[in-house]
Amino acid sequence: MEVDNILKIIDKVSDRKLSYFSYEEDGKKIVIKSKNKMSINKSDFNFENADKFFEEYSTESNTKDNIKDSTKDFSDEDINQVKSPIVGTFYSSATEGGEPFVKVGDTVTKGQVIGIIEAMKIMNDIESPYDGVIASVDVTNGQTVEYGQLLYEIK
């Protein structure tokens, strides 16, 4: 899979409101996930007709001009997102089978370790950048995470 093709995929997918995109070629796989409601599988996609393909999948209700604000109403509470700073394997605890660093409802302080991402055999602590309460845990133990992927939401 060539870098140019990967970049084309990322550009095309990020411009659309897709919830899931998966593409595999020569044993290498690209998966892009978001909280939107639309999905595309490899069998529907080819590079030669990429522009036409995305036009067909982009309905009027999904265009940028017609997207309504889909943010959740949490009254006056602020939701802060903690995203992965690197690509790697996420671990929710310091030891295999151990208690997770945090669970939904736990109170955290700025600088507290809330997870670990292993990249190139190096364990990288993920520290909370906020004081607050864990509103959601969006990854599972042992899951491969991408740069910028949502890990936690903190109120």
Q: State the SS3 of 131-143.
A: CEEEEEECCCCCC
pTM: 0.51
The strand pair at 38-40 and 18-25 is best described as parallel
Residue 50 is predicted with a pLDDT of 57
Is the predicted pLDDT of residue 56 greater than 60, yes or no? no
Q: d(Cα 117, Cα 115) in Å, to the nearest integer?
A: 7
Average pLDDT over residues 112-139: 92
From the candidate CATH numbers 2.40.50.100, 3.10.310.30, 3.40.50.150, 3.40.190.10, the one assigned to the domain spanning 80-154: 2.40.50.100
pLDDT digits (tens, 9 = 90+) for 3-40: 777 777 777 766 666 666 777 777 777 777 665 544 45
- Supply the DSSP string of 53-84, one letter for each residue: HHHHH--GGGSGGG--------TT---EEEE-
Count of beta carbons in the 10 Å neighbourhood of residue 93? 14
Of 134, 131, 82, 78, nearest in space to 106 by CA: 134
Residue 82 is predicted with a pLDDT of 93
Least confident of 21-25, 70-74, 118-122: 70-74
Mean pLDDT of the chain: 75
Name the segment(s) of the chain with CATH classification 2.40.50.100. Answer: 80-154
pLDDT digits (tens, 9 = 90+) for 101-114: 999 999 999 999 99
